[in-house]
Structure 1
C-alpha cells in the first residue's frame, strides 16, 4: 500500500479528492454565474446609458426649439411695441394738428374781436376817467355785450 499521510485512511483520501472536485465544480459554477450576471448588468448599464443620452439629446433639442420660439416671440413683441409707439406718435401728431387749427382759429377770432373793439372805441370814445384804458378793449367789448 502507498503511504498515507498520518491520520488519514485510503477512504478519507478519496473523500477529500471528491470534496475538492465538488468544491472546484461549485467555484466554477459560481464564477460562471457571476460572469453571466456581470454581462447582463453590463448590457443593462449600456442600455440605460444609451437611454439617458437619448433623453438628454431630446431635451437639448427641445431647449433649442424653445429658444427659437422665444427669439421669434421677442421679435414679435418688439414689432408690436414699435407699432404701438408709431400709433401713439400718429395720434399725438393728429392732436397737435387739431390744436394748431384751433389756435389759428382762436387767433383769427381774437384779431376780429380786437378790430371790432377798435371800431367800437372809435365810434364810442370814452371821456370818463373811470373808463378802462384803450388797450383793454376786450374788457370794454364784454361790458357792452352784457
Structure 2
C-alpha cells in the first residue's frame, strides 16, 4: 500500500515538473519528463509494484533467491574444476584416441616453409626507399617458393 502511494506521488510530482517545463517553452524536455513520470503510475496500475513489494518482503522468495544462488555457485565450481582437469571426460577420451592413432594436429604442419627456404640476408640498396621494395621482393620470393613446392 505504501509503495503504491509513493509511486503515485512521484508520478504526480513528475507531471507537475513537466507542466512547469512546458510553461517555460521547453516542450521537448517537458514531454520527456512526463514520459518518465508516467512509468511509476503505469507500474502501479498494472500491479507490478504490489508484486515486487510482496516479493521483497516474502521469506519464501528470499529462500528461492538463495537456492538459485547456490545452484549458480555449484555450476561455477564444476566448470572451474573441469577447466583445471583439462576438459570433460569425452574430450579427454578423444584426445587419448587421437594420440594413439598418430593423428597430427592441424597446427603441427602450419608452417609451410621452414627457416632454410627464407632469405635471411636482405639486399642493401643505396637509397632509403629501396627497403620497401626489398621487403616486397622477399614477400614475392616466399610466394614463389610456395608455388614451386606445390608444382604450380
Band the TM-score falls in, shorter-chain normalisation:
under 0.3
Which structure carries more helix by proportion? Answer: 1
The one of the two structures with greater contact order (alpha-carbon pairs below 8 A, sep at least 6) is: 2
Larger radius of gyration: 1
TM-score normalised according to structure 2 size: 0.22
